[in-house]
Structure 1
Amino acid sequence: MSQSPRPAVSPRKPPPMAPMGKARYRVMMTLVLVGLALLAGRIVDLHVFDRSFLQGQGDARTLRVDAIPAHRGMITDRHGDPLAISTPVVTLWANPQDLPEDGIQRLQLARALGQDLDALNARIERYRDREFMYLRRRMTPEAAQRVLDLRVPGVHKREEYKRYYPTGEVIAQLIGVTNVDDQGQEGLELAYQPYLAGVPGRRRVVKDRRGRLVRDLEVLREAEPGGDLTLAIDQRLQYMAYRELKAAVDENDADGGVLVMMDAKTGEVLAMANQPSYNPNNRAGIDPQGLRNRAIVDVFEPGSVMKPLAMSALLETGQFPPDTVVDTSPGWMRIDRFTIKDVSNNGELSLAGILRKSSNIGMAKLTLQLDDPVVPERYRALGFDQAPGTGFPGEATGSLPAPVRWSSSQWAALSYGYGLSVSALQLASAYTAIANHGERLPPSLLRLAQPPRGEPVIRPDVADRVLGMMDEVVAPGTGARRGLVPGYSVAGKTGTVRKTGGSGYQEDAYRSLFVGIAPVSDPRLIAVVMIDHPRGDAYYGGAIAAPVFSRVAGNALRILDVPPDRVAGDREPVDDAT
């Protein structure tokens, strides 16, 4: 049966849109088109007219400004030999949040750093909420590279400098040290910190989001290296002075000691040794006592080494002609409530004999004949009770009693070196006036381009006369004979001072001193030696400190090519002690 074809079905027409629906559609389309137009306009604006905004935003996430460390200036001796130099080192740091949790990588990192794994993990956990922690400071570049070669995520490097001291403990207290950030902390490193440090530079770099360096872009400011510092120290003399001082301290089981050697013609400090000392290159377990530069910052009662300086003041009054004789019998005298004693009853002594026998009685009797305080005034003119002016941190001023407190006993005590305090550097500087025809030279720790102008303090003829008296002090048969130097004339003075304690002067604790000038014919060197509390059978300055001067001055004069001025065999040093 055939079927008739179906009629075609026409598509259904959409229902007509309501008037409200058409309006909403037009609004939505308008808003979309306006939004697209605004977005397109902003894109065009940012890429064409305001490109700096996008560039700034991108740079803020990738560009950094890093510091370029400045090379710290070198410290050298007067001949250019290095005493303090800076070497490049690498500091490793990490972002704790980027460090891997993998135990193998942590173990490799700890071993490469030379650290305990548990300690490293504990530190990482402690800094977990931060973005920076030090892994290890001041590594050698080779050791740091071995760590970096592990490619542990989150580990980065920073280039720095580390201070190295070639002479070690020999001159540690004068040079001082820097801290882990290469900032001066002690000594001349601290005193000249702004000059030595220089000015760090700045560079612009590209880093990724983990802080890793991608590319160097430009140097914004070059680093300005620090200035070099040239000291007056002669490294050859310094080594010798330190060796002899250390040997004397060890031999006498002393608490310590100082030695200051000064150029008599310029006031430059050629050597400055301290005991005890320390190694500035390895400060583990350091003894704080060794940090102190005793020659500059410590003070002590000088005792009899002040007598030549006091004698210069007495002679200038004109009241004591060359033939003056003082009766020091019976070897003691009472002043106020105090008893003054000599080591022995020396009877009648000339002015030179008073220095040669180191008579406290003689000095006291001369001083008490005067109405004016010439001795303390002379001490102040020689620089005592004042800062030496070297610029060294903490340099001591010492002390002199105020004039209103002077009594007869105190006035007398000042003449033989008690009742005041001085530093070894002040003492050496004061004796430049004796060596330079009455002109005192200020001490200098830095090498001078030319000799400074001296300050007239003592009348030239008086200074020369006192120098001659001191020449007689260091002679065979005297307590200072062990200060003699073969082939050279020596002017000197010994001193033996009781140390003070909680209840006054101690019975069995002394400081042994010797001040020497050589050669007498044309003074070149002045040296002060102080040994603190020698515990051997001998403790006098002539037995303990004078031999140190003899060895140091003798070697120094030969090193400096100073010609001998005394016939061989005349006034040779002897080995016996007083």
Structure 2
Amino acid sequence: MQIANGNRPRNQASDFSGRRKFLLAFVMSCMAVLVVRAIHLQVFKKDFLQDRSRYVDTVSISSYRGIIEDRNGEALAISSPAPSITVNPKELGQDDEGAVSQMEKQFRKEHGGEKLSDSQKQEVIGLYREQKVAKIRQLEKLLDLPTGKVNNILVEKKDKGFAYLAKKINPDLAEQVKALKLAGVGILREFKRFYPSGEVTAHLLGFTNAEDVGQVALEKSYEALLKGTDGKKRVIKDGLHQVIADVENIASPIPGKNLELSIDQRIQYLAYRELQNAVTVNKAKSGALVVLDAKTGEILAAVNQPSFNPNAKDELKEGLYRNRAFTEVFEPGSTVKPFTVAAALEGKYIRPTDLFATDGVFPVGNHTVRDTHHYGTLDVEGVIKKSSNIGVAKMALKMPTEYFWGMFNKVGFGASPATGFPGETDGRMPVMKRMRDFDKAVLSFGYGLNVSVLQLARAYTALADDGVLHSVSLLKRDEDVDAQRVLSQKTAKTVRTMMESVITKEGTAYEARVDGYRVAGKTGTAKKAGAHGYSANSYFALFAGLAPASNPRLVVVVMIDEPSAGQYYGGLVSAPVFSKVMGGALRLLGVTPDQENTMPILLAKKTP
């Protein structure tokens, strides 16, 4: 027992001795690592340590906004790199210790490496400040800022840590700013929205603000889809707030999704050019035009005049960027007469062979319906061809109010087209329960209700697609799953055939003809309502039509507001625009002509 007790202390001492040796070796190893690291930094990385202004920061990585493109993949709105110049007023307003230190080193080299006296240090600081003032003036010149603008910011925002000097500038210009090496002046990675089509698609696309957020039109309605999610990363910055090295990626930016429209840029440009010319030639106040695919309800073009350049945001005026085709209403006049005829035929209140006496004046209660000319007795087709108010008024009075009103409502009048476009109008229908005979009479030829150009174009799809009314879409699609039948095939075809007579020499729209294609349509010349009733000399000139009439592919509606160059009838002002747009669009789409005699005659004329 004594031997055992005597050995226990020696074993314990031996154990402690081993632990001490291990601990000592570990400490010495750590010291060696530190010494090696110190030598590495002080010998090989001494410049890094000498620059005391370097620090680690977390910065945002701007995400890319989605592209808006037409149905053929042509870019209509894209985002390109456009850095912004920022300033930290606190930092720019102070002396940059790092920059002063570098100048002191240079001064010592030039003076034999001697230690600087206090007066020499003040000389260096004075030189630094002179150079800083010169750089600030150069900065103002590069950014096209008024002289003294930067100093004003330093005074006004001296307690702030951030201010913009210039937003979304050319990347080459940003590099010139970076070369100035001004402490407190930084470059923020951002994107600028660019619209290659400019004024041609301005009303459809809209524009974004300085923060790249959609403000109007499709840029606004599809903001959630188009905008991306910014990322984050840790970086090393120098005293100039410039990133000199990435440390780690915290979250990658997620780009916005692309938006594919139903618009065909070729047809859009064609429609824009012809509408602009018509508004100019006719000295009109404004104009709007819509082209629809008669089979799918897709909007292939929608243009307005006057337009604006979305790439020049400083020049924008609110009144210019309203999309009149979607958001403004008017009384459609005679362009709705085909629906009155369709309702009467569909309900069997009339037959195509019925005759209507149109003697120029038709009393309805205490009011009078008039025609512009004395047409005598007309059959149903004649009523459409000559655009007789009296003829359609007599048809309307044959129908029950609820039924007649219901037909206009079924083709979409008084209801939003539901494209999702901001500010899209519902239009207005008269209150059915308050309608009297005269209300029915004027509704039959397009007064007492308000529609948009898009609503009128949509209604015409029911005539174009054999009685099937289509929903309308600004997004590309293969078919319209929301289409609904509102007329029988027989009625739609009968009315469409009657509408072809409008495009004859005896009709009201001979100027709407399209070489090689049968055209069906209807003119409208609607007086404008004012504060004191209808104007005697202000009109909406309208034309709505479809082609090829044998199997319609397109619907085009043209509205020109207040033509004042002498002509104001829809058949003379708007029908020629329809002809050029419809003809060009059909050829762009490769639609087969359905009028065999026209093209050979044209070719024969060109043959010597």
1:231: how far off? Answer: 0.7
Does the 8 Å contact 2:87/2:162 carry over to 1?
yes
Within the candidate set 81, 86, 107, 1:93 is matched to 86
Q: What is the DSSP-based 3-state SS (H/G/I as helix, E as strand, rest coil) of the residue aligned with 1:446?
A: coil
CA contact (8 A) 1:314 1:374 kept: no
* SS in structure 2 at match of 1:87: strand
Aligned pair 1:398/2:427, yes or no? Answer: yes
Find the counterpart in structure 2 of residue 168 from structure 1.
Answer: 198
Structure 1 residues 233-275: Cα deviation after superposition (integer angstroms, max 9, x where no partner): 1111111110000000000000010010011111111111100
Query: Which of 342, 348, 351 is equivalent to 1:321?
Result: 351
SS in 2 for 1:521: coil
- CA displacement, residues 275-325 of structure 1 (integer Å, 9 cap, x when unaligned): 010000113333332201100011111010001012111111112122210
Check conservation: 2:270, 2:581, Cα contact below 8 A: yes
Q: Residue 68 of structure 2 contacts residue 258 of structure 2 at CA under 8 Å; is this kept in 1?
A: yes
State the alpha-carbon separation in 1 of the partners of residues 154 and 597 from structure 2: 73
1:462, 1:109 → 2: CA distance? 73
Matched residues in 2 for 1:572 and 1:280: separation?
45
CA contact (8 A) 1:96 1:124 kept: yes
Question: CA separation of 1:470/1:370 partners in 2, compared to 1, >3 Å: closer, same or farther?
Answer: same
Summarize the alignment of residues 389-428 of structure 1 with structure 2, pairs less than 5 Å apart: 389-428=418-457
Cα offset, 1:454, TM superposition: 2.1
Aligned positions of 1:523-538 closer than 5 A: 523-538=552-567
* Corresponding position of 2:318: 288
Q: Which residue of 2 aligns with 1:279?
A: 309
CA 1:109–1:176 in 2, change beyond 3 Å: closer, same or farther? same
| Residue number among 193, 210, 228 corresponding to 1:180 in the alignment | 210
1:356 to 2:385 alignment: yes
Q: What residue is the counterpart of 1:375 in the other structure?
A: 404
Q: Look up the SS of the partner of 1:321 in the other structure.
A: coil
Give the AA of the match of 1:384. Answer: F
Superposition map of 1:142-541 within 5 A: 142-207=172-237, 211-329=241-359, 331-452=360-481, 454-541=483-570
> How does 1:38-49 map onto structure 2 within 5 Å?
none
1:186-218 residue CA offsets vs partner (Å, 9 max, x unmatched): 111001001000211122234467755353221
Q: How many residues are matched?
A: 514
CA deviations 1:490-535 (Å, max 9, x no partner) are 0000000001111111111000000010001111110000000000
SS in 2 for 1:386: coil
Q: Is the 8 A contact 1:263 1:525 kept in 2?
A: yes
- CA shift, 1:116, in A, is 1.6
The answer to whether 1:120 aligns with 2:142 is no
Contact 2:206 / 2:216 at 8 angstroms: preserved in 1? yes
Q: In structure 2, how many angstroms separate the alpha carbons of the residues matched to 1:556 and 1:568?
A: 20
Which shifted more, 532-541 or 210-219? 210-219
**Counterpart-to-counterpart distance in 2, 1:338 and 1:148:** 77
Distance 1:566 1:392, change over 3 A: same
Is this contact kept in 2: 1:484–1:572, CA < 8 A?
no
One-letter amino acid of the counterpart of residue 443, structure 2: L
User: Aligned partner of 1:468: which letter?
Assistant: T
Asked if the contact 1:276–1:289 (Cα under 8 Å) also holds between the matched residues in 2, the reply is no
Distance 2:58 2:559 in 1: 54
Asked if the contact 2:288–2:305 (Cα under 8 Å) also holds between the matched residues in 1, the reply is yes
AA aligned opposite 1:325: L
In the alignment, which residue of structure 2 is the partner of 1:77? 70
Residue 359 of structure 1: how far off its partner (Å): 0.8
Distance 2:263 2:345 in 1: 35
Give me the whole-angstrom Cα distance separating, in 1, the residues matched to 2:230 and 2:593.
52
Contact 1:106 1:117 in 2 (8 A): no
Relative to the length of structure 1, the TM-score reads 0.86
Distance apart, 1:545 and its partner CA: 0.2
CA distance in structure 2 between the aligned counterparts of 1:461 and 1:353, rounded to whole angstroms: 19
Separation (CA, whole Å) in 2 of partners of 1:572 and 1:284: 52
Q: Secondary structure at the match of 1:284?
A: helix
Write the letter of the residue equivalent to 2:191. Y
Deviation per CA, 1:81-109, whole angstroms, max 9, x where unpaired?
Answer: 11000001101101112225643222122
Contact between 2:186 and 2:240, CA under 8 Å: does it hold in 1? no
Residues 485 and 572, structure 1, Cα contact 8 Å, conserved in 2: no
Q: Partner letter of residue 538 of structure 1?
A: Q
Separation in 2, partners of 1:451, 1:364: 34
Q: In structure 2, the residue corresponding to 1:143 is in which secondary structure? A: helix
C-alpha change, 1:384 and 1:571, in structure 2 (3 Å) is farther
Please tell me whether the aligned partners of residues 73 and 229 of structure 1 are also in contact (alpha carbons under 8 angstroms): yes
Provide the secondary structure at the position in 2 that maps to 1:203: strand
AA of the residue aligned to 1:320: I
SS in structure 1 of the partner of residue 168 of structure 2: strand
Q: Matched residues in 2 for 1:424 and 1:249: separation?
A: 16
Are the equivalent residues in 2 in contact too, given 1:177–1:189 (CA < 8 A)?
yes
Tell me the amino acid that sits aligned with residue 188 of structure 1.
Answer: L
Judge conservation of contact 1:109–1:152 (CA < 8 Å) in 2: no
Look up the SS of the partner of 2:493 in the other structure: helix
Say whether the 8 Å CA contact 1:476–1:571 is kept in structure 2.
no
Q: 1:547 to 1:425 in 2, by over 3 A?
A: same
Structure 1 distance, partners of 2:154, 2:282, is 52
- Looking at structure 1, the residues matched to 234 and 375 of structure 2 have their Cα atoms a distance apart, in angstroms, of 82
Q: Which residue in the other structure is 2:586 paired with?
A: 557
Matched residue, 1:66: 59
8 Å contact 1:385–1:398 — kept in the other structure? yes
> 1 or 2, which has the higher helix percentage?
2
Contact conserved, 1:486 with 1:568, CA < 8 A, in 2? no
Q: What is the one-letter code of the residue matched to 1:186? A: V
Question: What is the distance in 2 between the residues matched to 1:194 and 1:309?
Answer: 39
CA shift for structure 1 position 450: 3.5
2:184 pairs with 1:133: no
Relative to 1, partners in 2 of residues 1:205 and 1:569: Cα closer, same or farther, differing over 3 Å?
closer
Query: Match for 2:147: what amino acid?
Result: L
Q: Which amino acid aligns with 2:365?
A: D
Structure 1 residue 557, shift from structure 2 partner: 1.1
**Conserved? CA contact 2:228–2:256, under 8 Å:** yes
> Is the Cα contact below 8 Å between 1:327 and 1:349 reproduced in 2?
yes
Which structure 1 residue ranges, 5 or more long, are not aligned? Answer: 1-46, 48-60, 574-578
Cα distance change, pair 207–149 in 1 and its aligned pair in 2 (3 A): closer
- Determine the C-alpha separation between the residues in 1 that align with 2:541 and 2:401: 31
Does the residue aligned with 2:581 lie in a helix, a strand or coil?
Answer: helix
Task: Give the Å deviation of 1:111.
Answer: 1.3
How far off its partner does 1:118 sit? Answer: 2.5
Distance 1:373 1:87 in 2: 56
